[in-house]
Chains A and B, each alone.
Chain A
Amino acid sequence: MSKISSLADLRKKREELQTGMDIRTRALNPENIVQVKVAMATCGIASGSKTIMEFFLEQLDRRNIEGVVTQTGCMGYCYAEPTIEVKLPGQDPVVFGFVDLKRADQIIEKYIKTGELVDGIIPVNYQTIDLKE
């Protein structure tokens, strides 16, 4: 495949792929899909949250999981960065700390796929980040 170097190339490729392409409607019903929030404040970035976010962006699609990856500010667990919050449909969110690539993989394979808890959970009297602000 030739390299895409301009918006015109991009549009051309999309038109070729258009038939049968799975266009996502993530934003419409985020309650029904897996939500992953990566803490992306100074503490998180300095500890490698960028790598973790890229991993989730790539792997959720690759492993065919209906999910949306987004970012949030510091949740106050700077000591445990990178931290992520995972919300499975219909469940309370869970915060995981010290997330490296190995743990991120476990979180997808075990927690997101089967609901089995893995190491690194930060126990909180849970308030969602939105409410906390």
Chain B
Amino acid sequence: MKALSLNILDITQNSLRAGADEICISISESVAADSYCIKIKDNGSGIPVDILKSITDPFVTTRTTRNIGMGLPLFKYHTELTGGKLQINSVEGKGTEVTANLSFSHFDRQPLGDIVGVLIILIAANPAVDFIYTHVTDHGEYTFSTRETKEYLGVNTLYERGLLEDLAGMIAVNLMEIEVTGVVYKEIV
């Protein structure tokens, strides 16, 4: 994983497997406060208390196709490399919240990468799930919600020819506006 957006994509898979239908991804970065905080919150099935204690152990997983799980351990590793801390709060039946507090200026903090592409993949592959993405910087705040977008456009799904590309363009323009750092933008026509 070479970018934080890939970690976000990975952790979101956990939420999806937990049957969540609303996933909030929020990032708040501040040069002034030297902080970079990533929060992924879902309303999935939650994590049982006995598993929660050892959840960042790669040899703990509930899946059956293989007996290791590297998602959270890797995210924790990338967070702690910057002197940061990863926190997981979960209530069974209610949902899970993963919070990573990284140092903005640390040499080992990965760039965000192609966050727009990650969002588009999540939207295309999970039409029934609502995604809410919030990004806060020193220069402003931007929120993108799939539910709001669907209601506004009067459509049932955003997975439509041309629409995904337009969404990508719209999100990118707004992220540039608030001067999000470390993002790789695809060419916008």
Instruction: Give me the interface of A with B, judged by CB distance under 8 Å.
Output: 1, 3-7, 9-11, 13-14, 17, 22-24, 26-27, 38, 40-43, 45-46, 50, 53-54, 57, 61, 68-71, 73-76, 78, 132-133
A53-B167 contact, Cβ under 8 Å, with A42-B69, A74-B66: no
Asked if B166 and A4 sit within 8 Å, CB to CB, the answer is yes
Asked if B125 and A53 sit within 8 Å, CB to CB, the answer is yes
Interface readout for B44-58 with A: 1 if CB under 8 Å, 0 if not?
000000000000000
- Give Cα A53–Cα B9 distance, bound, in whole angstroms: 13
Asked if A53 and B121 sit within 8 Å, CB to CB, the answer is yes
When the two chains form the complex, which single residue of B71, B161, B164, B170 contacts A5, counting CB atoms closer than 8 Å? B170
A40-B125 contact, Cβ under 8 Å, with A7-B149, A50-B9: yes
When the two chains form the complex, which single residue of A4, A38, A45 contacts B173, counting CB atoms closer than 8 Å? A4
Interface readout for B62-100 with A: 1 if CB under 8 Å, 0 if not?
011110011100100000000000000000000000000
Interface residues of B in 139-189 (CB under 8 A from A): 148-149, 152-153, 156-157, 159-164, 166-167, 169-170, 173-174, 177, 188-189
**Which residues of chain A come closer than 8 Å to B24, judged between CB atoms?**
none
Q: List 10 interface pairs A-B (beta carbons < 8 Å), by A numbering.
A: A5-B170, A11-B153, A24-B159, A24-B160, A45-B6, A50-B6, A54-B120, A57-B121, A70-B124, A133-B64
Interface residues of B in 1-24 (CB under 8 A from A): 1, 6, 9-10, 13, 17
Min CB gap B22→A, angstroms: 18
B60 interface contact, C-beta 8 A? no
Min CB gap B167→A, angstroms: 7
**Which residues of chain B come closer than 8 Å to A45, judged between CB atoms?**
1, 6, 9-10
